[in-house]
Structure 1
Amino acid sequence: MTYQVVLSPDFEKETKIFFKKDPVLYGRFKKTVNSILENPECGKPLRNVLKGLRRVHIGHFVLIYEIDNTNETITFLKFSPHDKAYK
Structure 2
Amino acid sequence: MKITISNELNQTMAKLKKGDIALFRRVQKKINQISDCDGTTIHHFKNLRRGMSDYKRVHIGHFVLLFRIEKGVLIFDRFVHHKEAYRKSV
Task: Give the count of matched residue pairs.
Answer: 83
Tell me if structure 2 keeps the 8 A contact 1:64–1:77.
yes
With the length of structure 2 as denominator, give the TM-score of the two structures.
0.80
Displacement, 1:41? Answer: 2.4
Q: 1:63 aligns with which of 56, 62, 65?
A: 65
Query: In the alignment, does 2:7 pair up with 1:9?
Result: yes
State TM-score, norm by structure 1.
0.83
> 2:16 is matched by which residue type in structure 1?
F
Choose the corresponding residue for 2:28, options 2, 21, 30.
Answer: 30
> Identity over the aligned pairs, expressed in percent?
31
Any conservation in 2 of the 1:36–1:42 contact (CA below 8 Å)? no
User: Structure 1: how far apart are the matches of 2:25 and 2:8?
Assistant: 20
Contiguous gaps of at least 5 residues in structure 2: none
Q: By how many angstroms is 1:19 displaced?
A: 2.7
